Structures are given as structure tokens and as C-alpha cells.
Amino acid sequence: MDKKCVLTISNNNQAVEVRENSELSKELDASNSPILFGCRTGICGTCLLIVEEGAENTNDVGEDELEFLEIVSDDPKARLGCLLKCSGPVKVKYIGK
């Protein structure tokens, strides 16, 4: 059975159980969360969010993601939701673009 972790979305204080190290875009599809997705491949920025807590429980930022984030945000805690994977409790705030 897949291990789960809790993703808290601070915009509406929603806590969603997601499978560890799974793609959030798939995990959140049925959750009615405020986080929107577009391309789901890291090129549109629709899923832009800020990791408020639990950054140590997220996957590393890839080279392409970092390049994109540098263009769209000056917040070092910014991530693309479609490329974010959780391995423990994480709290995010959805920004979008």
C-alpha cells in the first residue's frame, strides 16, 4: 500500500492526503483544491505556489524548474505544483500566474 502524507493548502486551509512522491497534479484532481494546473509539465506557471512549511519534505528543484521559477518569481520558496512531490507534511500557498 502506498504511503501517504498530508499536503496543507493555506489558501483555504485544506488538508489533502497525497501519496508519497506522487505527482500532485494527479493527486489533487479529485480533491477540489484551489490549486489549478495547466500544462502539467512545468512550462505554463498556472500551478505556481509557495512552500510555506515542510520544504525538507519535497523533492529537489530540477534545472528546468529552477530556470522557469527565476523568470516568474523572486520568492526562493516558489515551486511549480506540477513538479512538486511530497515525502512528508508540506504546507503550500497557491499563487498561480
Q: What is the contact surface with ligand FES in residues (CB under 6 A)?
A: 37-40, 42-47, 80-82
CB 12 within 8 A of CB 97: no
Nearer to ligand FES, 3 or 97 (CB): 97
As measured in angstroms, the least distance from the Cβ of 1 to ligand FES is 28
Which residue's CB is nearer to ligand FES, number 3 or number 59?
A: 59
For 35, other C-beta atoms within 10 Å of its C-beta total 25
Residues 6+ apart with CB under 8 A from 67: none
Q: Which is nearer to ligand FES, 79 or 91 (CB)?
A: 79
